[in-house]
């Protein structure tokens, strides 16, 4: 589920995003009792999983209104109050209120599933609803908020914690309490849901869906749209790939594989191969991106990969159109034109009722006159008209609807849920070709038919995407919603995706008869039209002959393997897996793959045996497999001990061996796993042939032995022996020496390996105590080694078994990277997880040849972003290496290091600031390091010692600059501890003399450089360069100010003459004439907050334009889409 915390926005967005008035920000939310943060969430429609509301809404909704009249409201002394239960759509509901607020000074109100406690596991139901507090004096002031929610066990109530201020509710003059009675209305509409799990898309529709990886529904809807353009699919199939390519490393092969599976498989298809071929990790799959941006980046990649192949140019042929930007002077004969290509068009939704209105706005003529005249080369400034006309449209026309826009007044992104219509047939030759340029080929008929509607359901900070597509352009539409595909009618695909408000009929009129109205948060976001004259070419046949032979073979083999696995899984209940470990496995694994316990059962021979087969029959199969006659086999059951070790426990009895495999597995396996794990005991004679097994009675104990060599730092399995429980280790010393080829009288030390989780426990065995006294039992492990002589002890790292096992348990290879080159491993060290902070930095310093380990600073690794974490590890702030490597539930093996010029404990008491010092035309970057309690004044004094000043008594100031605007002048007494130089630029400069002696009517204003970009008739102001302050004297004209600016910036006349000057307020330019009095525009004196108003220096934008317009639908908080391979 994708849940994102909403950004703050103000009251004006009430109707749209359900934010209550007041300073509190709130979207609909579940009831949470107890203290809550002021910025609240989550939003109602952020879920991105197959069970979201839009996925399951099926039939026409059943709606009803419930009216709740509450007398003696102000005298209620209960914390929360439930209404009576009411029925809508066959479900029981009730309203829940907190009359004195749910820990806020607001009325809190929720819709609650009345019988949630008794409903079966996994229940869910979807409702659109509104909650209202009726104003009984003036109905137009009734407060009403609406939302929609998928109710389930975890979220059985949903609503508004901060519905309305208690001060308004309890004010008798406001009309919400009349005669101390409050009236609450709940309008509820319920849609029935279809059984998601039992539904078969392929059977129902002939098509299959795509699996959601976390938040990839936006990608799924786009991929389905592209797949259902057969000409595009055919081109993808014809991209050259080879049998040696790997799908996860080749975008063409991964896309071919995906399209093949969509065409020929019966169940939903995974996109993991494709996203891996993009170079994405799991983290990228849980980030929701913008459909248009992914479309642009993917098509760019494919265009590049198609170069030099038989399908080169396919992307352009399908999607590329051209328009002409023109500026035409009105009073002189001068016209400037520029041809640009586009792969999609962004159409305004705000203020447009339909697609045609958007196209009208797109080609709308802008007048350049007054302050905004056009500089027409030798003609100078001229009145002109500016606009866009289309030279040609592509066969496949992709229209991006600008549902997301930046609201300058609220300084935030908002979603436009307005009603916006789009036709089934789109005629772009209408009104005598008013959208076409004079150069357009009028013989081409620009009549289009709708192919796909991509829908976004939810709010500005996330939501869910799906697509309505008619693959063959017939009357039948299909909804592609991740894994599920359903048949839909044209009304659902078109009209219901227009947005706006939905009005539901009443079935149970209550207090008043106003209709139910709900804002529709699901609406069209992208439209794909196909030109009617090209449809036969584009909706072409694509069959197996279009698919490379190696791809068909590979994918058919994949499908067969998948089918085999499915059959295997389907029949699993009829079989038992028996895993048989032997001495050979122990010898092979111990000391290489494993050091603790005896065997890794995943690496031993396994048998898949039908449950009804007698165990004795299975022994015959073992005889064939291993060449060991049945009479020489003895099987031991493994058991998991309380200390989490796993050892052979006891031999099977003759009675057990007479049972079926299934019965034996059930009797021996308390965990009900499908596996039976056995140890096969076999005795070999001198000629290595199997011989009869010794009798085992109650006094016999089966022990396993490992030998440790301290010089080689190796441990290995050497065999097993039966010992008597009354016997003593000293009695088997000679046998053990013989087993490993030591002299018969070699002194050896014995240790019992007891456990290794959570820590190693390995204890010396008393040679003279009986095995029973030492609590030795079947399956125990005895490790032994030559006795270490005192003179040899210092020559080996791990002199005995316990120290070696401790080392093995804790050893950790760590890859170190220099922090400034975070992608490259510099060196690796073998360390121990329980190494202290001092141990680790000492080893790093030693490797780097640094005398003082305290000058090493380490930074941990973020396993998800594959980047260094933002904060380094403080001096001795962690106990051991493991704490440095743990990131949530993962253990990394990467650390980043820095070499400091002073010890870290000293540095931590200091604050380091990166400051750019500006003087005339030079900028010097300084690293200022001062005690944390220092002030800005101390910083400026330190800077004075490091730079050349214009004169010894020059005064300095420190500014905060962000995106080429000055946001703050720091007071000299401000402490530096909380100043952030990671996100903002800190700039120091001399204070000009003229600013020190401001007259009573002088103004200190901000001056910023900017370019103005008109994207589809919408002005975008882009600031750049270094902002600065300027003193404006009363009565001075722009001409006077320009002279001072040119002198200050030392700009040549030719360049300076091209600049325009404008007063900007909230991003809107108002151009100034030379004769305008500048000070009259700037009424504020304060510097703080003055970035809202500034004098702008407009430079002509000479940057080349990309064929794709930058996405206007980008959410400001999103990470950009990148395809890395």
Instruction: Report the distance separating Cα 1076 and Cα 1080, nearest Å.
Output: 9
Distance between CA 456 and CA 400 in Å, rounded?
Answer: 12
Angle (CA) 719-724-726 rounded to 5° is 140
Report d(CA 434, CA 362) in Å as an integer: 11
Sign of the alpha-carbon torsion through 164, 168, 174, 178: positive
Question: Which of 213, 148, 202 has its CA nearest to residue 417?
Answer: 148
Would you give the distance in Å from CA 80 to the centre of its chain?
38
Residue whose entry in the numeric block shows the structure tokens 């060449």: 627
List all residues 6 or more positions away from 958 whose beta carbon is below 8 Å from its beta carbon: 915, 936, 939, 940, 969, 970, 986, 987, 988
State how far Cα 306 lies from the chain centre: 30
Pairing outcome for strands 157-165 and 690-691: unpaired
Alpha helices by DSSP H, listed for 916-1037, are 936-944, 993-996
CB 461 within 8 A of CB 44: no
User: CA 948, CA 965: separation in Å to the nearest integer?
Assistant: 26
Token pair for 919: 């003087």
CA distances from 440 to 437, 443, 783, 864 (A): 5, 9, 89, 51
The residue whose two tokens read 């809807």 is: 221
Question: Torsions phi, psi of 944, nearest 5?
Answer: -60, -30
CA distances from 922 to 919, 1023, 1050, 1051, 1056 (A): 6, 20, 12, 15, 20
- Cα(648)–Cα(654) distance, integer angstroms: 17
| Rounded Cα–Cα distance for residues 942 and 1072 (Å) | 41
E strand or H helix at 844: helix 837-848
- Could you tell me whether strands 714-724 and 700-709 are parallel, antiparallel, or unpaired per DSSP bridges? antiparallel
Q: Catalytic positions, please? A: 217, 464
783: closest CA among 751, 822, 745, 808? 751
Distance CA 1048, CA 1041 (A): 11
Q: What is d(CA 9, CA 413) in angstroms, rounded to the nearest whole number? A: 9
Bridge partners of residue 63, in order along the sequence: 189
Look-up: residue for tokens 């979603």? 415
Give every CB contact of residue 483 below 8 A, 6+ residues apart in sequence: 50, 201, 209, 210, 211, 212, 268
Is 407 in contact with 17 (CB distance < 8 Å)? no
């Amino acid at each position: 589920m994708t849940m994102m915390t909403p950004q703050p926005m103000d009251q004006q967005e009430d109707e749209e995003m359900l934010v209550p008035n007041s300073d509190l920000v709130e979207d609909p939310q579940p009831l949470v009792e107890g203290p809550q943060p002021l910025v609240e969430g989550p939003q109602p429609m952020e879920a991105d999983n197959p069970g979201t509301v839009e996925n399951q809404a099926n039939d026409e909704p059943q709606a009803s209104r419930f009216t709740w009249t509450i007398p003696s409201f102000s005298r209620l002394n209960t914390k929360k109050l439930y209404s009576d239960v009411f029925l809508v759509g066959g479900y029981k509901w009730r309203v829940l209120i907190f009359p004195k607020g749910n820990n806020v000074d607001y009325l809190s109100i929720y819709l609650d599933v009345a019988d949630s406690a008794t409903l079966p596991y996994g229940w869910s139901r979807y409702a659109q609803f509104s909650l209202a507090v009726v104003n009984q004096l003036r109905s137009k002031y009734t407060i009403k908020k609406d939302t929609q929610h998928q109710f389930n066990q975890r979220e059985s109530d949903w609503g508004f914690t901060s519905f309305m201020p208690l001060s308004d509710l309890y004010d008798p003059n406001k009309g919400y309490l009349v005669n101390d009675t409050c009236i609450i209305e709940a309008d509820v509409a319920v849609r029935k849901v279809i059984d998601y799990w039992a539904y078969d898309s392929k059977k129902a529709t002939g098509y299959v869906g795509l699996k959601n990886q976390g938040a990839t529904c936006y990608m799924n809807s786009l991929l389905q749209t592209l797949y259902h353009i057969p000409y595009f699919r055919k081109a993808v199939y014809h991209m050259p790939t080879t049998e040696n390519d790997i799908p996860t490393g080749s975008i063409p092969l991964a896309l071919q594989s995906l399209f093949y599976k969509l065409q020929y498989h019966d169940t939903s298809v995974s996109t993991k191969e494709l996203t891996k071929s993009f170079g994405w990790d799991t983290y990228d799959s849980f980030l929701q991106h913008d459909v248009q941006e992914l479309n642009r980046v993917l098509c760019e990649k494919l265009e590049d990969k198609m170069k030099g192949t038989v399908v080169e140019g396919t992307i352009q042929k399908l999607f590329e159109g051209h328009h002409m930007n023109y500026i035409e002077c009105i009073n002189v004969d001068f016209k400037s034109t520029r041809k640009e290509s586009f792969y999609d068009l962004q159409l305004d939704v705000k203020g447009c009722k339909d697609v045609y209105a958007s196209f009208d706005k797109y080609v709308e003529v802008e007048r350049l006159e007054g302050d905004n005249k056009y500089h027409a080369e030798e003609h100078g400034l001229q009145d002109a008209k500016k606009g866009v006309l289309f030279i040609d449209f592509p066969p496949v026309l992709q229209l991006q609807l600008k549902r997301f826009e930046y609201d300058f007044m609220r300084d935030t992104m908002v979603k436009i849920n307005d009603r916006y219509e789009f036709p089934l047939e789109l005629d772009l030759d209408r009104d005598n070709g008013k959208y076409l340029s004079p150069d357009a080929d009028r013989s081409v008929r620009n009549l289009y038919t709708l192919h796909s509607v991509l829908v976004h359901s939810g709010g500005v900070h996330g939501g869910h995407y799906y697509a309505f597509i008619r693959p063959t352009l017939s009357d039948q539409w299909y909804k592609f919603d991740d894994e599920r595909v359903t048949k839909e009618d044209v009304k659902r695909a078109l009209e219901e995706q227009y947005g706006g408000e939905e009005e539901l009929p009443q079935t149970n009129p209550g207090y008043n008869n106003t209709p139910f109205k709900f804002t529709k948060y699901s609406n069209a976001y992208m439209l794909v039209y196909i030109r009617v004259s090209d449809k036969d070419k584009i909706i072409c046949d694509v069959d197996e002959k279009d698919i490379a032979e190696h791809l068909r073979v590979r994918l058919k083999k994949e499908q067969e393997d998948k089918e085999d696995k499915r059959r295997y899984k389907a029949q699993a209940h009829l079989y038992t897996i028996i895993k048989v470990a032997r001495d050979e496995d122990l010898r092979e694994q111990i000391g290489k793959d494993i050091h603790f316990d005896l065997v890794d059962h995943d690496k031993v021979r396994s048998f898949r045996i039908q449950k009804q087969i007698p165990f004795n029959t299975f022994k015959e199969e073992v005889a064939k497999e291993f060449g060991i006659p049945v009479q020489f086999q003895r099987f031991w059951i493994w058991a998991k001990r309380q200390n989490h070790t796993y050892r052979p426990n006891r031999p099977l009895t003759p009675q057990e061996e007479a049972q079926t495999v299934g019965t034996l597995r059930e009797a021996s396996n308390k965990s009900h796993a499908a596996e039976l794990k056995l140890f096969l005991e076999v005795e070999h004679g001198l000629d290595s042939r199997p011989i009869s097994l010794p009798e085992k009675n109650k006094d016999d104990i089966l022990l396993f032995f490992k030998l440790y060599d301290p010089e080689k730092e190796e441990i290995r399995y050497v065999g097993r022996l039966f010992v008597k429980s009354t016997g003593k280790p000293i009695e088997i010393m000679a046998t053990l020496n013989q087993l490993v080829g030591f002299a018969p009288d070699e002194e050896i030390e014995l240790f019992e390996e007891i456990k290794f989780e959570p820590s190693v426990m390995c204890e010396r065995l008393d040679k003279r105590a009986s095995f029973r006294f030492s609590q030795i039992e079947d399956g125990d492990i005895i490790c032994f080694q030559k006795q270490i002589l005192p003179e040899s002890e210092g020559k080996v790292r791990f002199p005995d078994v316990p120290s070696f096992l401790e080392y093995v348990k804790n050893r950790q290879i760590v890859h170190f990277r220099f922090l400034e080159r975070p992608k490259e491993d510099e060196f690796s060290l073998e360390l121990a997880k329980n190494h202290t902070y001092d141990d680790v930095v000492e080893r790093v310093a030693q490797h780097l040849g640094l005398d003082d380990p305290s000058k090493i600073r380490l930074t941990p690794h973020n396993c998800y972003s594959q980047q260094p974490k933002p904060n380094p590890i403080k001096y001795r702030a962690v106990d051991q290496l493991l704490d440095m490597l743990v990131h949530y539930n993962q253990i990394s093996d990467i650390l980043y290091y820095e070499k400091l010029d002073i010890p870290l404990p000293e540095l931590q008491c200091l604050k380091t600031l990166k400051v750019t010092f500006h003087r005339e035309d030079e900028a010097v970057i300084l690293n200022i390091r001062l005690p944390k309690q220092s002030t800005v004044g101390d910083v400026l004094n330190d800077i004075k010692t490091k730079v050349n000043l214009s004169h010894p008594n020059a005064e300095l100031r420190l500014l905060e600059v962000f995106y080429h605007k000055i946001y703050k002048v720091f007071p000299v007494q401000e402490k530096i501890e909380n100043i952030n130089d990671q996100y903002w630029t800190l700039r120091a400069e001399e204070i000009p003399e003229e600013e020190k002696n401001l007259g009573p009517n002088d103004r200190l204003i901000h001056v910023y450089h900017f370019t103005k970009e008109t994207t589809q008739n919408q002005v975008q102001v882009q600031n750049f360069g270094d902002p600065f302050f300027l003193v404006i004297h009363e009565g001075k004209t722009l001409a006077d100010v320009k002279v001072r600016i040119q002198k200050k910036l030392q700009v040549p006349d030719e360049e300076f003459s091209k600049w325009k000057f404008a007063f900007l307020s909230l991003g809107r330019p108002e151009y100034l004439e030379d004769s305008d009095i500048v000070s009259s525009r700037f009424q504020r004196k304060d510097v703080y907050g003055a970035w809202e108003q500034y004098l702008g220096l407009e430079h002509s934008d000479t940057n080349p334009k990309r064929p794709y317009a930058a996405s206007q639908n980008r959410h400001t908080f999103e990470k950009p889409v990148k395809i890395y391979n």
